[in-house]
Amino acid sequence: MRRKEKEIQDRDLIDQVINRAQVCHLGMCRDNQPYVIPISFGYDGSSIYLHTTDEGMKLEYFAANNQVCFQMDYVQYQN
């Protein structure tokens, strides 16, 4: 990571971020065409599970290039 001061290594804090996440965006690429979508997900404390069907663009992109990334958002409210 380029900015080490921004890196989160504490497992409990990572779990808190994932458990609070409201949106997960999945990023893929096929034939130099990016494809980023919001996606439903589950988390069991060690693995992230992504929702998909038996066919569709996500699986086509996965088949063409299995290197993907994801990004999660959560809103932290302050009073």
How many structural domains is the chain composed of?
1
pLDDT at 64 over 90: yes
Instruction: Give percent of the chain above pLDDT 70.
Output: 96
Residue 42 placed within a domain: yes
For residue 64, what is the domain's CATH number?
2.30.110.10
Task: Evaluate if residue 79 carries a pLDDT over 70.
Answer: no
For residue 78, tell me if it sits in a domain.
Answer: no
Q: Which amino acid, residue 12?
A: D
Q: Give the residue among 39, 47, 45 at the shortest CA–CA distance from 70.
A: 39
Residue 31 structural domain: 4-73
DSSP for residue 32:
T
In the DSSP assignment, the letter for residue 5 is G
In a domain? residue 79 = no
Q: pLDDT tens digits for 17-37?
A: 899 998 899 999 999 999 999
Confidence category of residue 6, pLDDT binned at 50, 70, 90: confident
Distance CA 71, CA 79 (A): 26
CA distances from 24 to 2, 35, 39, 59, 73 (A): 23, 14, 6, 17, 7
pLDDT of residue 63: 93
